[in-house]
Amino acid sequence: MSNAPDERLHPQLHLNSYGTYLRRRFGSRISKVNVDAGFTCPNRDGSKGTGGCIYCNNVSFSPRETLSAVPLEEQMAAGMAYHRSRLGSEKFIIYFQKYTNTYGSAELLSALYRRVLDHPDVIGISVGTRPDSLSDEALDLLTDIARTKYVCLELGLQSMDDAILNRINRGHTLDDFIGAATRAAGRNFDICAHLIHGFPGESAAEFLKTVPLMAELPIDSLKLHQLHAVEGTELAELYHRGEFTPVTLEAYITTVADFLELLPPRIAIQRLYGSAPLEICVAPRWGLKNNQMWYAIVNELTRRGSWQGCRSVGA
């Protein structure tokens, strides 16, 4: 272990938090505001498959105020008011979150992205998508926007194991992700990867094998969360039949802390856990609020006297 933590790490959090990264880059508190622009998903409409991923119910991770029937400007106003009041945020990144937000023509994407960027307090956009739904036209559009605004492309990998990706009906492969990340590199925008821990048949040791892949690829930030079942999904049905056992809170905290110790400090952490409204959350139900989940992992690093990257071989 190194004797001196990397300067990019927050001294109390023991990791490179995305919020700290944004404040360091832009000089003020920045918040992400989720919007629903009315996209669908190629894994639902038959282009790639039907039914979607076995865990996917977008209500579980989308604020109630973000409904595609509500104009984007109203969604933005509600989210910005919330973050101004709660956190004192001054500027905002608009997060195109629900479903696959590059799944459309370049003309449609340009109109939607530039529409939210017209707001004077919006410094940029974050675009969530699948690695198999990233056209050259979409990449060129994001590259053009990144000349004057902040852009983060969020690519859902979830697992590097193709067998798991097949079992969860993900509809793409690890090679698809590597190809998308490689094509998106060097375009002056950030790349964020999404990973989930707790898939049936996946051990902690297997999940930790993802770290070298993230270190080797041009990944700037990460979102991690536990696999959880919500109502209206195939995963919930598997849980009710006794065919899915969620990872325990203690095991998740341990594995994520191990993951962070191995992860190079250059990669910022956007998320460490997943949450869902209690009324639709099936399992696991850990009974912790969002900030309690975050600090459960931070406290584990503190207890160990360790930090992000202290066992990393990369910078």
Q: Is residue 3 part of a domain?
A: no
At residue 149, the pLDDT reads 98
Q: Is residue 310 part of a domain?
A: no
Q: Is residue 315 part of a domain?
A: no
What tens digit of pLDDT does each residue of 263-297 get?
999 999 999 999 888 899 999 999 888 889 999 99
User: In one letter, which amino acid is 68?
Assistant: S
Q: Is residue 8 part of a domain?
A: no
Strand partners, 34: 95
User: In one letter, which amino acid is 208?
Assistant: L
3-class DSSP state of 8: coil
At residue 289, the pLDDT reads 85
At residue 57, the pLDDT reads 81
- Ranges of residues in the chain whose predicted pLDDT is under 50: 1-2, 60-66
Q: Is residue 1 part of a domain?
A: no
Q: How many domains does the chain have?
A: 1
Q: Please, are residues 37 and 96 in contact by the beta-carbon 8 Å criterion? A: yes
Largest CA distance in the chain: 53
- Residue numbers of the domain that contains 278: 18-304
What tens digit of pLDDT does each residue of 150-173 get?
999 999 999 999 999 999 989 899
Q: Is residue 7 part of a domain?
A: no
Q: Please, are residues 245 and 235 in contact by the beta-carbon 8 Å criterion? A: no
What tens digit of pLDDT does each residue of 56-77 get?
885 544 444 445 679 999 999 9
**Dihedral (CA of 173, 178, 182, 188) sign:** positive
Q: Is residue 180 part of a domain?
A: yes
Q: The domain that contains 268 carries what CATH number?
A: 3.80.30.30
**Dihedral (CA of 242, 130, 97, 286) sign:** positive
Distance CA 305, CA 99 (A): 39
At residue 66, the pLDDT reads 46
Q: Is residue 294 part of a domain?
A: yes
